Amino acid sequence: MDFEKLYAEAMKVAANAYAPYSNFRVGAALLLPDGEIQTGVNVENRSFGATNCAERTAVFAAVARGYRTFSAIAIATPDADYPVSPCGICRQVLSEFAPAETPVIFGNKWENVVKTTLGELYPYDALHELAK
């Protein structure tokens, strides 16, 4: 799996984020089981509760295309000074569609990227625990 390519897609799409309030652009790239890449960006709103994160945008777009799982995700935060991990809501949504061993790559630039797994980000995943 070419994590650098996946991360580059996330960084590229971050330029399309709609972030007029925070000026904090985020891009996400999901690696789908067939090798396709689905991207997403954060889309802000004056009512921050109506804002959608890049990770969820990518997942929702993939679901709309018929996918129900993904193989990895890369998240790029080019306006940050350090790697920023997915928020709690995004961790919950990601865990709905991928197992704990799914790779998660995030960072503000490739040289600072953090490589982890969904299970390390979200260790107490009630959804999958209840399914056992």
What residue ranges in the chain does DSSP mark as E strands?
27-31, 37-41, 72-76, 103-107, 114-117
Given the residues 9, 36, 44, 55, select the one marked as catalytic: 55
Q: Is the dihedral of CA 53, 54, 58, 59 positive or negative?
A: negative
* Known active-site residue 36: no
Q: Looking at this protein, which amino acid is placed at residue 42? A: N
- How many CB atoms within 10 Å of residue 33? 10
Site of tokens 């961790």: 91
List active site positions.
Answer: 55
